[in-house]
Amino acid sequence: MSAPERPLRADARRNRESVLDAAGELFAQRGDAVQMDEIAERARLGVGTLYRHFADKQALLAAIIGRRFEAMTALARAADETEDPWTAFETLLHGYLEAAQADAAFRFALLGPEEPRWSDIAAEKTDFAEITERVVRRAADAGRLRADFSAQDFTLITRGAMANMTGTGDWRRYVTLLLDGIRHRPGS
Amino acid sequence: MSAPERPLRADARRNRESVLDAAGELFAQRGDAVQMDEIAERARLGVGTLYRHFADKQALLAAIIGRRFEAMTALARAADETEDPWTAFETLLHGYLEAAQADAAFRFALLGPEEPRWSDIAAEKTDFAEITERVVRRAADAGRLRADFSAQDFTLITRGAMANMTGTGDWRRYVTLLLDGIRHRPGS
DNA sequence: TAGGAACCGGAGTTCAGGTTCATCTTATGG
DNA sequence: CCATAAGATGAACCTGAACTCCGGTTCCTA
């Protein structure tokens, strides 16, 4: 399958890192609206160098989003290690949203019309889905989440929150509403 | 201020309508990704004619979104005429979302990063905000919505639902979760 | 029903931004 | 320390899509 794969030359490895760092920061701030030239400039490299390491803009973006999904997976794994099921769920939910808040590229990717491409890529490379599934199930089984709550519902509410991160909306308030429900119940 | 404003020539008026219809339909399907040439073709007109009636693509899009906001306002007004406060609220919420579901341009506009430009335009030209405010307040005062529910919360949940209309998410399920809350309450 | 203002059409222009490639530079193994 | 393959560079190129422009057409009024 794969060729002998001689390791990258030292400068190449360094430059690759620079590109990833620069792109990560810029994409996080402004999504895919950033231009390749900007990334090159911030990385103090020529555009050509970006293209030596990544086939095109999409590939670079994919690398960045992949990174984020890895971080999310670590987060989920950590949450899953919490013993209390509800705390585990809340930790995951808040950690996920906090991270999403800091990363516009991630949000746009998951909210944009090209989904579900990204989730599929994430599923191939990480266990995020499985771990989330487990965390959700634990909370539901423990009777702390409505019994029919599923991992898909996690995606649903997560998308909703992210949609309220651009502009003036207060997404924390939104999460509160979701957790409690907006309809008044005389009992309880 | 305004010039004598001779009325449009018959063909011009007709063509303007064609443009609006074509653009409305295409924008609704695919958001602002549609090209001016496509709109012209569907309207059976030259591109030049589009530009005679609308300064640029943004202006055309604004006209379309304005139309939608007018429809939304009519909807809100109708809901406000329902006597039961909860029914009024539900009618507005579902009507709004059903309409949003059918109009990608509207969704993208409200979810995109250029918000709150659109809401401001809407506020200038329609009473949507005021009427919604009233409907929400009525439901809250009647004790059918959590007491601290505000018109901003309407925007919040509405955005969340629209974010789940692209792709595979089931936004009706999402609304259910919001209305009921996802946390299990032993009491009630 | 003629004159002319208003309007239309769509090939061509412009421009922004992604991508290439001929040439120069540098790391590395011997 | 050299030879050389790997890597870097950025001006030039290409593409696609918004927009312009002017010769031809149509409506309207007197």
A9-50 residue pLDDT tens? 999 999 999 999 999 999 999 999 999 999 999 999 999 999
Nearest to B180 among A115, A162, A181 (CB): A181
Query: Which of B30, B168, B159, B163 minimizes the C-alpha distance to A120?
Result: B168
Q: In chain A, where are the structural domains located?
A: 1-54, 57-182
Q: What is the pLDDT of residues B31-60, one digit of tens each?
A: 999 999 999 999 999 999 999 999 999 999
Arithmetic mean of pLDDT, A81-109: 97
Q: Between 3.40.50.150, 1.10.10.60, 3.40.50.1980, 3.40.1500.10, what CATH number should domain A1-54 receive? A: 1.10.10.60
Tell me whether the CATH fold assigned to A1-54 matches the one assigned to A57-182.
no
| pLDDT(A2) > 80 | no
Q: pTM (2 decimals)? A: 0.92
Best mean pLDDT range from A1-15, A32-46, A111-125, A154-168: A32-46
Q: Are B136 and B150 in contact (CB under 8 A)?
A: yes
Query: Measured in whole angstroms, how far is the alpha carbon of residue A106 from the centre of its chain?
Result: 5
| pLDDT(A161) > 90 | yes
Inter-axis angle of helices A104-111 and A117-125, to 10 degrees?
110
pLDDT of residue A188: 44
Q: Are A93 and A80 in contact (CB under 8 A)?
A: no
B167 CA → D12 C1’, Å: 40
Partner residues linked to A91 by β-bridges: none
CB contacts of B162 in chain A (<8 Å) are 163
Fold type of domain B57-182: Tetracycline Repressor; domain 2 (1.10.357)
CB contacts of A160 in chain B (<8 Å) are 157, 159-161, 163-164, 174
**DSSP-assigned states of every residue in A31-83:** GGGS-HHHHHHHTTS-HHHHHHHSSSHHHHHHHHHHHHHHHHHHHHHHHHT-S
Check CB contact under 8 Å for A153 and B182: yes
Mean pLDDT of chain A: 92
CB atoms within 10 A of CB A110: 23
